[in-house]
Amino acid sequence: MTDFTPWFNANRKEDTVNTEAVADEPASPVVENSAVGDEQTAVEEDTVTEPDDGDAQPSNAPKGKRKAAARKKAAAFPHVDAAVASKIRDMFDALEDEKVLAAAKVLCDTNKSDPSALIDLLTDTKTRRTVVEFSKFADKLRGSETDDRKMLVVFAIMNDKNLPRVLFGVLNALAPGNGFGRPSNDPMKDAASIADHWGDGVDLSSLDVLKV
C-alpha cells in the first residue's frame, strides 16, 4: 500500500504558510467619520463669506466722507424716487421763507414747523396730489378777472368742502397784508372776499417749488 503521509504533510505545511501570509497582510485603513467631519469643518471655516457692508465707510475713511454718508442716510425718505430727490434741496431752501413755511403747513394740514418733517409730508403721495391740484387751481385764479375769479371759487368750493380751509390758509400765508379773512361756510361770501381782496395779485410762484 502506498504511503501518502509525506505528501499530506507537505501540502498541510504549504496551506499553513499561505494562511499566515494572508493574516500578516496589513488591513485597509478605515476612515473615521469624526476625521471626515473635522476636515469638512476646517474647510467651511476657511471659506466663511465676509459680510457685505454695502455703503458702510471704513473706520479709516476721511472724516468728511463719513459725515457726507451720514447726511445722505439722514435725508433719505422711503417714498422718494430719484426725480423727487433732485427737488428736495430746492424745497429746503424755499422753506427758509416764513411765508412759504406757513403755506406748506396749511397744505400738509399740520402744525409741524421742522423743514425735514414738512418735506416728508410734502413728498407723501396724498399730499403731493393735494399740492398739485391746488397749484392748478391757483394758476386759474392768477389768470382770471375779478368776476371770473369769483365764479371759479364758488364752483370749486361747492365741489370740495375742504377747499376754503386750504385756500384761505395759503392766501393768508403768502399775502398776509391782503386781509382775506377766514372762510364763512358760504361759497358766495368766500368768493367775494377773495376776489375783493385780491388786489394786484398774490405771488403763488412758491407753490411750484412745493409741487412734486
pLDDT in tens, 145-154: 889 999 999 9
Range 50-59 average pLDDT: 45
Is pLDDT of 48 > 80?
no
Is pLDDT of 15 > 90?
no
Q: How far apart are CA 98 and CA 174, in angstroms?
A: 9
Per-residue confidence (pLDDT) for residue 142, from 0 to 100: 87
Is pLDDT of 62 > 80?
no
How far CA 26 is from CA of 20, 21, 29, 35, 88, in Å, comes to: 12, 10, 9, 21, 81
Q: How far apart are CA 118 and CA 92, in angstroms?
A: 9
Quote the cell numbers at residue 42: 476646517
Q: Pick 62 or 52 by higher pLDDT.
A: 62
Per-residue confidence (pLDDT) for residue 143, from 0 to 100: 83
Is pLDDT of 163 > 60?
yes
pLDDT in tens, 123-160: 899 999 999 999 999 999 988 888 999 999 999 999 99
Write out 133-164 in H/E/C secondary structure. HHHHHHHHHHCCCHHHHHHHHHHHHHHCCCHH
Chain-centroid distance of CA 41 in Å reads: 40
Predicted structure pTM score? 0.62
Residue ranges of domains in the chain: 76-210
Per-residue confidence (pLDDT) for residue 86, from 0 to 100: 76
